Amino acid sequence: MQPATRPSLQELLHAWREADRVWEQTDVTEEAAYRRASGAVLESWLAYQERVSDGRELLLIADDARRYVQVRGAALAVIGYEPSEMVGRRVDDVTAAEYGDRVDEMWDTFRIKDRMDGEFLLERKDGSRVPVVFQARYHFPIPGLHFSRIRLAG
């Protein structure tokens, strides 16, 4: 049995664009079909992002309730959790306590601006704080989901 070959960037990009085309043509009133099409866009987009990543990035997808629905990449290295342990947690759960009650305000700013970039302090699984650099996009890669790319600062 031969080992599976990794898809090329071109193949991953094609899969993402094809999933996006299907999603764009899916009737939003057909809830099950729309959910499947949305999931296909998300999976193919994340596969592409993982492939172009240098392996030091944590890729997070949160929903409108600030709950992580997909976690890929360097979760263990950056924040001390396995990706599967992060799914279902909220942004608030890993935001350093120093931010206090400002999480709601910061999320509202993110929602209004559609993007945020900068430095942030996260709380690791062991309770320690870790400075990170992030890029975040609201309603991306599809409406209702919000993407963050995080790496250790420095």
Per-residue pLDDT tens over the stretch 97-144: 999 889 999 999 999 999 999 999 999 999 999 999 999 999 999 999
Sign of CA dihedral 83, 62, 146, 115: negative
pLDDT surpasses 80 at 43: yes
pLDDT surpasses 80 at 38: yes
Express each pLDDT in 2-21 by its tens digit: 667 888 989 999 999 999 99
Q: What is the pLDDT of residue 2?
A: 66
Output the pTM of the full model. Answer: 0.88
pLDDT surpasses 80 at 68: yes
* Gap between the Cα atoms of 58 and 76, Å rounded: 9
Grouping H, G, I as helix, E, B as strand and the rest as coil, residue 115 is strand
Per the model's pLDDT, the better-predicted residue between 87 and 5 turns out to be: 87
Q: What is the pLDDT of residue 72?
A: 94
Radius of gyration of the chain (CA): 16
Percent of the chain at pLDDT > 70 equals 98
